[in-house]
Amino acid sequence: MLKILNIVGARPNFMKIAPIVRQMKRRDNEFQQLIVHTGQHYDAAMSNSFFKDLGMPQPDFHLEVGSASHAVQTARIMTAFEPVVLAEKPDWVLVVGDVNSTVACALVCSKLGVKVAHVEAGLRSRDRTMPEEINRIVTDTISDLLLTTSQDANENLKAEGVSEDKINFVGNVMIDSLFYSLKLTEKSNIREDLNLTEKDYAVLTLHRPSNVDDEKIFGGLLDALCVISEKIPIIFPAHPRTRARISEFGFADAIERSQIKLIEPLGYLDFIRLYSGARLVLTDSGGLQEETTALSIPCLTLRENTERPITISHGTNILTGINPERIKQIAFEVLNREASAGDKKIPPLWDGRAAERICDCLSETDSQENL
C-alpha cells in the first residue's frame, strides 16, 4: 500500500487532482491518499465551489496560508506543510502544475528526502519573468518522477539533463476532468441566465500579472477587446486580481460602455458550459488553451509565448501576442471564417485516462525501487 499526499492550492490545481483522487480511491488496495489544501486560493468562488463541482472529498489538511507576496506565501506554505509530512510519513507527495503551492511543497519534500511526483512536468514558456516558469523549473529539478502531458515536455526535460527513467508521458489529467464533467454541465443554466445563444458570443479570461498589472498593457488589451466586442459580445469572468486592477486603473467605465460583460469568476461546471458554447475564447490562461483544444473551440492566447505549444501544433490555439492591432486582426479573421465544428484533432493521450496511467506509474516506480 502506498501512502500519498495529494497537494492542491490554487484554482487550476483542483481539476488536475480530482481524477487522481478518484482513481486512488478506486484502487484503495494499492493507495491510501490524503488531500492537503494549502489555502493559496481561499474565496468560495476560487476554491470551495470546485470541491463541490468536482465531487472531491474535503481536504484532510487545510494550511490556510492565504494571499501574500511570493516569498511570504511560499514560506508560509513550506512552514505549514513540513509538520504534515513529518507526521504522515507519506511514500510519495504528488504536486500538480506550476503554482506557488507546487514548488513550496516539492521543496519541503526534497529537503526531507520524501519522494515527489510532478504532474504536468516539463512545460516551458522560456520566459523567466513569469513566476510560473520559475516554479516549473525548480519543481522539475527536485522531483523524483516527472509525469508529462505531451512529448515536447519530455524533450524539454531531456535537454535539461533529466534522466530518461524519471520521465513518463502519461497524458493530460485536466482533460480527464473535462471529459468526466461534460455530461454534468448540461445541468448548468449559465447560458440561459446570461441570455446567450450558442456560438453567438465569446469568452474572455485574463489574470497573468504581465497582462493585468501594467496599466498600459492592460489598457491596450482592453481597447482591442472593446472593439472586438462590437462584433461579438464578450463574457468576462474576472479573476480577483484582474477585478482589483480594473478599479485601480479606472477601466470600469470603458468596459461598461462596451459589449464586454464583466461577471464574477464561475464554478467549474458553469465555466465549461459557458466556454463550450462560445464561438471564440480569448485568454491568457494555460488550462483554457488545453481545454479549448480538447473541445475544438477556437482560442486566441493573448501572450507572447506559451508553455503549451501542442495546443498550437495539434489544436485550436493561436498565439496573438499582446499588440492590440494584431489581436483585433486575428480575432476578425477567425470570426469571419465559417463557424465549423473544427477538425477534431486532439493531442495524443488526452483521452480521459491520464490519472489511471499516473497511478500505474507510481505503483511501478515504487515496486522497481523495492526490488
For binding to ligand UD1 (CB under 6 A), which residues are involved? Answer: 10-12, 40-43, 46-47, 67, 98-100, 131-132, 207, 239-241
The rounded distance, in Å, linking the Cα atoms of 238 and 346 is 28
Candidates 118, 207, 239, 314; catalytic one: 207
C-alpha cell at 366: 515504487
Strand order in the sheet with 115-119: 61-62, 31-37, 2-8, 92-96, 115-119, 145-148, 167-169
Q: Which is nearer to ligand UD1, 237 or 347 (CB)?
A: 237
CB 307 within 8 A of CB 148: no
C-alpha cell at 299: 482560442
Q: Which is nearer to ligand UD1, 248 or 364 (CB)?
A: 248
Least distance in angstroms from the C-beta of 10 to ligand UD1:
4
Per the annotation, the verdict on 207 as an active-site residue is yes
Least distance in angstroms from the C-beta of 68 to ligand UD1:
8
Least distance in angstroms from the C-beta of 134 to ligand UD1:
9
Terminus-to-terminus CA distance in the chain, angstroms? 15
Least distance in angstroms from the C-beta of 236 to ligand UD1:
15
Buried b (16+ CB within 10 A) or exposed e, 309-327: bbbbeebbbbbbebebeeb
Q: Which is nearer to ligand UD1, 31 or 51 (CB)?
A: 51
Q: Which is nearer to ligand UD1, 23 or 40 (CB)?
A: 40
Alpha-carbon separation of residue 145 from 26, 107, 163, 307 (angstroms): 22, 14, 10, 20
The residues annotated with a catalytic role in the active site are 207
